[in-house]
Amino acid sequence: MSDTPSSRPPGFDRRAFMAGAAGSALVPLAARAAEDARAPVPQDPALPVDVTLRVNGQDKRLSLDARTTVLDALREHLKLTGSKKGCDHGQCGACTVLIGDRRVVSCLTLALAAEGQEITTIEGLATNDRLHPMQQAFIDNDAFQCGYCTPGQIMSAIACVKEGHTGTDADIREYMSGNICRCAAYPNIVAAVKQAAPEMTKG
C-alpha cells in the first residue's frame, strides 16, 4: 500500500497543514523566548526556559514552558510526531520512548528533567533505508490495525528484548502490558516480538 494516496493534492502535507493552522498560538511564546534569551533561571513561571534535549543522537536547543513534557517537546516543538499522545496520563503507553536504555512514558516526563539524557524515539530506529528488526517484525506479523499504539509498542518491545523478558509468550505479555492496543492486535504483537528478539540479540 502506498502512503501517498492519489486523491491527495500534489505537495499537500497533512502535518505541515495542521502545524500551520495551529501556528499562531506559538508566536507569543517564541517572541518571549527571544526577549528573555539571556535570563538564566527565570523565577516567573510564565517565562520559557532554555533547554537542550538530545534526541536520536542530535542536540536540540529549545525554549520551553516548564510544563512541557518530553512528549509535547517531541511532537509540538521538534515535529517528531511518531510518539503518540493517547491518554496523556501514563496509562496507555502510546508515548513510550527510550531515555538512556530505559523505556518510559514521555507524557509524564518533564522535558526539563530529561536534559542531558539520550532520548530515542521511533524516528531514530531505522538506519538509512533499513528498518529496525522490530519495525520489520511488526510489518511481517501484521502486528497492528489502526497503528496508533504502534510506535509505543515498538519502543516498548525493543526495551522488552533488551531487558531479557521474551523467554515465553506469558513473559512477553506481562512485560508488554503497559502498551494498550484497542484494536487488540496482541497475538500478532507477541509474534512480532518473538521474531525480532533473536535478530536483535545476535546483533
Partner 1 sequence: MRPFTYQRATDPDVAVEALSAAAAANKPLTQASAQPLAGGTTLIDLMKLDVMRPAVIVDINPLAHGWSAIEPRSENLRLGALAKMSDVAAHDEILRDYPVIAHSLKLAASAQLRNMATLGGNVMQRTRCSYFRDVSYGNCNKRNPGSGCAAMDGVNRMHAVLGTSDQCIATYPGDFAQALIALDATVEVTGKSGTRSMPFAELHKAPGNAPEIETTLQPGELISAFLISGRWPRSVYLKARDRQSYEFALSSAAVALDVQDGTIRDARVALGGVATVPWRAREAEAQLKGQKFDDGLAQRAADAAFADARGRQHNSFKIALGKRVMARALQQAATMEI
Q: Which residues bind partner 1 (CB under 8 A)?
A: 41-46, 49, 65-67, 69, 88-90, 93, 96, 102-105, 108-110, 112-113, 156, 159-160, 163, 165, 173-179
For the CB of residue 8, give the shortest distance to partner 1 in the complex, in Å. Answer: 35
For the CB of residue 2, give the shortest distance to partner 1 in the complex, in Å. Answer: 34
What would the DSSP string read from start to end of 49-105?
EEEEEEETTEEEEEEE-TT-BHHHIIIIIS----S--SSSSSSS-TTEEEETTEEEE
**Apex CA 169: angle with CA 158 and CA 98, to 5°?**
15
| Complex with partner 1: residue 26 or 113, whichever CB lies closer | 113
* DSSP structural state of residue 184: -
| Complex with partner 1: residue 44 or 59, whichever CB lies closer | 44
| Complex with partner 1: residue 43 or 128, whichever CB lies closer | 43
For the CB of residue 175, give the shortest distance to partner 1 in the complex, in Å. Answer: 5
* DSSP structural state of residue 112: G
